[in-house]
Amino acid sequence: MTENKTAGKTISDLIEDRFGLPTEDGRDMPAEGEIAAILNHRSHRRYTDQPVPDELLRIALAGAFSAPAKSDLQQCSVIVVKDPEIRRALNEQINDPWVTAAPCLLVFCGDNRRIHKIAEAKGTPYPNDHLDAFLNCAGDAAIVMATFIRAAEALGLGCCPISVIRNKIEAASEVLGLPDYVFPFVGMGLGFPEREGWVSLRLPPSVTVHSDRYDDGDVLAEIDAYDRRRDAKFSTPKEKYRMVEEFGAPDFYGWSDDKARQYAVPQRKNLAAFLRSKKFNLG
């Protein structure tokens, strides 16, 4: 078990830890309960060798599938990967250490297949085979994934989403035997944390929360200030700078530098073609 990082703190303290900015919101509220757990969320990438009991996994999944679902369509499926050969095959394609490092591996999928089968069985037309169908599936998968993380953490487990599964989405789909109208949304490493993760500093609500109408007039100045706050808490070592040959090694390398360089390289350009191969109509 990891130590309690919220003992003696208030909700205000946790908000300050998360955003790096002072606030009086929640100053009189002890850091307890669900909101404290949400504010104190950390990803976990190192796990003990202790296997995840099947009962705990079933409970976490029951919690995950208690999440809201668009129009009650429930368009998410989860593959629990137990077979070591399937894990090995996935890792050969994805080449990510987290695929094999975690005691338990799950893959959250968008699943539009069930509603197609229901419509066929009931003899009703299905005139909604368009982009919104894909969007609904992706939304359901994201909500189930996020709720699973909360459920797992409540049970003393740690998680780390693995989005790189989409880097080789065709191969991952084939290894997992995913049929038409089903796509892998994200992988998930799960286990008992070897050590506590860290609280990742987030963009401030002044950037992400808008009043009545969208307004990003000050966004670059806000992001620059965020870069400085984040760097003061945990700076990126020079050996982890991206694309140094192309863009150099600046004296200051902030979050925005890292993300700009990350997206300076094409990623997953084959996604639309893959989804069409799974019979999703993106038109």
Kindly report the CATH number assigned to the domain that includes residue 143. 3.40.109.10
The answer to whether residue 268 sits within a structural domain is no
What is the domain extent for residue 35? Answer: 1-40
Do the domain assignments include residue 279?
A: no
Q: Tokens 């100045």 label which residue? A: 221
222 and 191 assigned to the same domain: no
64 and 188 share a domain?
Answer: yes
234 and 150 part of one domain: no
Question: What gap in Å lies between CA 76 and CA 163, rounded to an integer?
Answer: 16
Query: Which of 175, 195, 215 is the last residue before a domain boundary?
Result: 195
Residue 280 falls inside a structural domain: no
Q: Is the same domain home to 134 and 99?
A: yes
Say if residue 94 is in the same domain as residue 211.
no
- CA angle 281/188/267 to nearest 5° reads 50
Residue 184 counted as domain residue: yes
pLDDT given at position 2: 46
CA 134 vs. chain centroid, Å, equals: 18
**Integer angstrom CA distances of residue 141 from 159, 166, 167, 236:** 16, 14, 18, 31
SS3 202: coil
Rounded Cα–Cα distance for residues 188 and 148 (Å): 10
Indicate whether 272 belongs to any domain: no
Answer yes or no: is 278 within a domain. Answer: no
Domain boundary among 195, 214, 249: 195
Q: What is the pLDDT of residue 1?
A: 43
Which pLDDT value is given to residue 34? 96
As given in the structure block, the two tokens for residue 36 are 């404290």
Say whether both 182 and 108 belong to one domain.
yes
Q: What is the pLDDT along the chain (283 residues), one digit of tens a residue?
A: 445 668 899 999 999 999 999 999 999 999 999 999 999 999 998 999 999 999 999 999 999 999 999 999 999 999 999 999 999 999 998 888 778 889 999 999 999 999 999 999 999 999 999 999 999 999 999 999 999 999 999 999 999 999 999 999 999 999 999 999 999 999 999 999 999 889 999 999 999 999 999 999 999 999 999 999 999 999 999 999 999 999 999 999 999 999 999 999 999 999 999 999 999 999 7
Task: Count structural domains, the chain.
Answer: 3
Residue 244, in any domain of the structure: yes
- pLDDT value at position 3? 52
pLDDT for 4 equals 60
Structure tokens belonging to residue 116 = 């197609």
Same domain (yes/no): 247, 217: yes
161 and 59 in a common domain: yes
In-domain check, residue 47: no
Residue 283: predicted pLDDT: 79
Q: What is the pLDDT of residue 197?
A: 87
Structure tokens at 134: 């894909």
Whether residues 20 and 67 share a domain: the answer is no
178 and 229 co-located in one domain: no
pLDDT single digits (tens) 142-194? 999 999 999 999 999 999 999 999 999 999 999 999 999 999 999 999 999 99
From CA 227, how far away is CA 244, in angstroms rounded?
A: 19
> Domain check: are 68 and 130 in the same one?
yes
